[in-house]
Amino acid sequence: MDQVVNYETRGALAIVTIDNPPVNALSHAVREGLDSAIARAAGDDAIETVLLMCAGRTFIAGADIREFDQPPREPHLPDLLNRIEAVNKPIVAAIHGTALGGGLETAMACHYRCASADARLGLPEVNLGLLPGAGGTQRLPRLVGVELALDMMVGGRPIGARKAFDAGLIDAIIESEDLREGAIRYAGQLTQKAAAVRQTSAISISAEPDSRFFASYRARIARRTRGLLSPELIVECVEDAVSAPFPDALARERERFMRCKASPQSAALRHLFFAERDAARIPGLDSSAAPRPIRSIAVLGAGTMGSGIALACLRAGCEVLLLDSSDEALNAGRGRIEALLQQQVEKGRIQSDEAAADLGRLQLAREFDSLSGVDLVIEAVFENMDVKTDVFARLDQVCKPGTVLATNTSTLDIDRIAAATTRPRDVIGLHFFSPAHVMRLLEIVRGGETADDVIATAMAFARRLRKVGVLVGNCFGFVGNRMLYGYGRESQKLLLEGVAPERIDRVLYDWGMAMGPHAVGDLAGLDVGYRVRRERTDLPDDPCFYRIADMLVERGRLGQKTGMGMYDYPEGDRAAHPSAEVAEMIRAEANRLGVVQREIDDQEIVERCIFALINEGARCLEEGIAMRAADIDVIWVNGYGFPRHRGGPMFYASQIGLDRVYRGICRFRDTLDKRYWQPAALLEKVAAGDSAAAW
């Protein structure tokens, strides 16, 4: 028999073990081996009960996603699971690690389920733009009820063994012994009492919801699932589970699964799945460069960003020293951290003892000499080159040899910062995104002399923080913020051309962005970008460039923190209200600058903002600032609110056609401002069909 599925007997028990490392994915070989093993057990009169389990660190963690773009091969998973469920002998699934996607569907097709106490179970297909396509939408509601089943499938988050047991998803928890022996004992008990075969498909859905439930549920999830295909189809499948015969509902589930699989959304989400994995692979990095040990971390600056970085490190179990120049700043920083931890306790995300332990690993200091023994310093002070070079010169004097010196700058030249030290090989950029304890992205910036083992350390540190680390090169704004300038430039110019800020934001939000650009500016604080622009010496000689944003700051309209920015926020209201004052300011300034205001349709708004992103991304690629187009996608999806279901700006360009993007940029070059709309050379090559050009 194929080695990925092993078969053995112990008396009247057949033990079928899947061994397909690393996560026992349901590859064709596994499906074939499992089909053969179950048929063997079913046909053996000496076998009374079958135990299905997995070797290694986890139960089946899902399908083999690499096979999705290949021609399907029998046995197909839905057919295999129907055959498993139809076996006239009790089949027990023993779950450890995770049972996800097709793995949980396999377990639900078995007649009984037991699990280790730390197991987690879920149907996260929605995260790949899919729905459970092997009976999951039909069997899960029968086991746990309609509402929890929908929450698990639409939310895509797994649940723990205890919740699964309480809900009826599993029948026993193996608490204090080896799972294999505990599962064998449990299966033996079923054999002794001649337990009946219990087909999940035959279970009636209890507490059948009334006609209003599904409408209410759709309304509840509307905001977080906007623009997505698979959540709605999941709800439709569960409606069928309630109202249609199992075989009919199963057939409709399969039809909807195939529709999802063929959709651009699923292609985009699967692209990101692999892109986030590939981001950790650094071409050309010395394979012998091992990460430096990081036992203690210092964060310089106890402001909002520094506090968030410190909290992210504390949540990862690190010892953290928070340094600032005054007791007032330090106490405020500690207070922010404590408040954020308390919020997580109140939301049930962590236990109170975890929060206390995290806070217990935090130390406060005012003197640079206290940094002499730390392994990693993360500077998060004012975004000003003189301030940062002064800090790094002092770090060079007090830190021990081998300490990694990291800057959280979002735009400034890493090499100039490193030049303030005598050890530029130890300097790297760690660009966190706000709020730093929440945002998944960590943009890791390689300087001209950054050592390979420092890069390896930064990548390992990102994983320790459970963030997606992406290595980029050094230039103004690196990848993310460099591209942001093109996006922002067009959203600002559209204001002068007569498009209201609320309309720009609505169009881009409806297209899929997490927030519109003007709402983002007000949230972040318009003074942040204003200060960065004051630092630059390469800005275009263009009186329209970010003109409205600059005027707002100069009038004291900094955003939500001052109660007014691009929008008004009366009496602390966080909701954005269009401002008559700003509308008049924009009209008058457009008139002063001689900008003609005109009718602009929604398509032009989207294309100008998104094509500007793509064009600058292409320049980042051709200059080597980004290693891969997929890295750019990972950055923009995880750091800037680009819609995941569009796959990132570079993947989106490929989906709609690089030639279309190229033609659009040329059209804007000819009708708008030539300074900004020259197509990137790489884009021109790939649009012309140059297969050797790396996109």
Cβ atoms of residues 30 and 4 within 8 Å: yes
How many helices and strands in the chain, by DSSP H and E?
28, 19
Q: What are the phi and psi torsion angles at 102 (to 5°)?
A: -60, -25
Amino acid at site 313? C
Residues in CB range of 428: below 8 A, 6 or more apart = 404, 405, 406, 407, 414, 444, 445, 446, 447, 450, 454, 455, 458
Active site residues: 105, 125
**Could you give the 3-state DSSP secondary structure of residue 15?**
strand
Kind and range of the H or E element at 598?
none
Residue environment code for 427-438, b if the CB has 16+ CB neighbours within 10 A, otherwise e:
bbbbbbbbebbe
Kind of pairing, strands 159-160 and 120-122? antiparallel
Whether a cis peptide bond, with omega within 30° of 0, leads into 124 is no
Kind and range of the H or E element at 13?
strand 13-18
Kind and range of the H or E element at 30?
helix 28-42
* Radius of gyration, alpha carbons of the chain: 28
Strands (E), 312-402: 319-323, 362-365, 376-379
Residues in CB range of 589: below 8 A, 6 or more apart = 496, 547, 548, 551
Kind and range of the H or E element at 462?
helix 452-464
> Closest Cα partner for 117 from 165, 149, 153?
165
What does the alpha-carbon distance between residue 191 and residue 176 come to, in Å, rounded to a whole number? Answer: 22
> Closest Cα partner for 172 from 86, 31, 51?
51
Cβ atoms of residues 322 and 309 within 8 Å: no
Residue with tokens 């997580």: 344
Amino acid at site 671? T
What does the alpha-carbon distance between residue 103 and residue 25 come to, in Å, rounded to a whole number? Answer: 8
DSSP code, position 75 = S
Cβ atoms of residues 337 and 329 within 8 Å: no
What does the alpha-carbon distance between residue 488 and residue 500 come to, in Å, rounded to a whole number? Answer: 15
Token pair in block for residue 682: 């790489």
